[in-house]
Amino acid sequence: MRVLLVGAGGVGTAITRIAARRDFFDHFVVADYDLARAEAAVAAVDTGPGTGTGTGTGRFVARRIDASDEAAVAALLREERCDVLLNATDPRFVMPLFEAALAADSHYVDMAMSLSRPHPGRPHAQCGVKLGDEQFARAGAWEKSGRLALVGMGVEPGLSDVFARYAADELFDEIEEIGIRDGANLTVEGYDFAPSFNIWTTIEECLNPPVVYERDRGWFTTEPFSEPEVFDFPEGIGAVECVNVEHEEVLLVPRWVEAGRVTFKYGLGEDFIAKLKTLHALGLDSTEPVTVRGADGAPVQISPRDVVAACLPDPATLGERMAGKTCAGTWVKGTKGGRPREVYLYHVVDNQWSMREYGSQAVVWQTAVNPVVALELLAGGVWAGAGVLGPEALPPRPFLDLLTAYGSPWGVREQA
C-alpha cells in the first residue's frame, strides 16, 4: 500500500508513529500546509527504535500541501501513486480531500465527516444538513468508481461504530438502544483550560444542536448539553456526567445497525460546559471572519474561532503535563436469548503508557490507532468495498483482533 496522509498535527503525527511499526505499506507521504511540521513527523519515525517511536526505515516522505486545494491534492496522489488518502485535518477540509481522492481514483479514509448546518427555523427540533450528508450524496459516484470512502474511522466515530456492529452481530438478538459514552479523568498540569483535542472541532460538535435517532421518529435535534446522565466508566475513571453532543455515530450507526434509539453523550464537566457557553455568548465560536486591526494598523480578516484556537495550547504538546486515562465506548441495551442484556464495550488508553510507548498523548493516540488498523485491513483485503461506507458496514471481529495485536486491547463489561 502507498498512503497519502494529509495533516501532520497531533493525530497525524501519532498516526506516523503507530504506522512505522507495521509492514503493510512501503510508501507513506506525510503532507501538511506547514512543511516543517510534516518534516518533523517524518524525522521522528526515521531516527530509529531508540526514540521509542519505531523506525520509518525510509518509507516516509514529507510534502507541503494545501488541503483546501482539491486539484493540488489530486495531483499529489497521482504523482506519489498513492492507493489511499488518509485525512487527518479538521472537518473544514473533508470535502476537498474527499473529492480529490475520487478524482485521483484513490481510496479515502477520514476520522470526521462533512460539516452539518442547523435547521434555519427549528435548530433544536429538526435537522438541517446533517453530518456526512454531503459525502453520502456522492455515494453513487464512489460506487461507480469502484473505490471505497471509509468515513468516520477514528475512535469516535470509528471504533465506537465497530463496537456497535460487533454487539449486533455477536452479543444481541434485538437492540433497544445504542449510546456512545465518552469519559476521562485526564488532568493537565499548569493550565486552567487546556482541551485535550482540537478546540476547533470540539466547539463545532459541542455547540451545534445534538442529533438523536429513534426508529419511529428518525433523526431529530435537541438543545446542546441536553439529557445529562452520570455514567460509570471502567478502569478507575469512575462516574462522569455526560450530555448529548452532535456526533457522527448517531448519523452512521442507524444506516447499518437496527436499533430503537441511538445517542452520543460526552463527559465534559460543568466547568468545560460553562466555558463553551461563554464562548458562544460572546460570539467567539463563530467561523465567520471579522475585521480586526493588525500591528501595522492594516485591517485583517480572521474568524473568532481561529483566534480561540490560537490562544490555547496545541493539544499535541500537552502529553508531558497530562495524567490519567481516557475511555471511548459503546453502551448497548437489548435482549439475547429472550433475556434482557446491557453491556458497555470500551477502549481505555492511559496517558502515561501512550507517552512512554509512542510519545503521543492519550486522546490523540487513541484517535490515531484506529485508522491505521483500518488501513492494514484494507491493504490485506480483509476489509473491502466500494462507495461511501461507515465502519459498521464492515466485519468487526478482524478489526478488534488486530487492535489487540497492536498492543491496545478492548473490553466488554456486563452492566448490572
Pick from 72-81, 210-219, 268-277: least confident:
268-277
Specify the pairing of strand 107-110 against strand 229-233. Answer: unpaired
Give percent of the chain with pLDDT exceeding 70.
Answer: 97
Question: Does the pLDDT of residue 54 top 70, yes or no?
Answer: no
pLDDT of residue 144: 98
Q: For the whole model, what pTM was predicted? A: 0.92
| Cell numbers placing 88 | 487527518
Cα–Cα distance between 178 and 330 in angstroms, integer? 7
Count the residues in the chain: 416
Give residue-wise pLDDT tens across range 193-247.
777 767 877 888 788 999 999 999 999 999 999 999 999 999 999 999 999 999 9
What's the CA angle centered on 286, arms 284 and 287, to 5 degrees?
Answer: 130
Distances (CA, A) of 96 to 267, 311, 377: 32, 27, 25
pLDDT of residue 58: 85
pLDDT of residue 56: 56
Rounded to the nearest integer, the mean pLDDT of the chain is 93
The mean pLDDT of 163-168, rounded to a whole number, is: 98
Give residue-wise pLDDT tens across range 370-396.
999 999 999 999 999 999 999 999 999
What's the CA angle centered on 289, arms 287 and 293, to 5 degrees?
Answer: 140
The answer to whether 56 and 83 are in contact (CB under 8 A) is no
Question: Does the pLDDT of residue 46 top 80, yes or no?
Answer: no
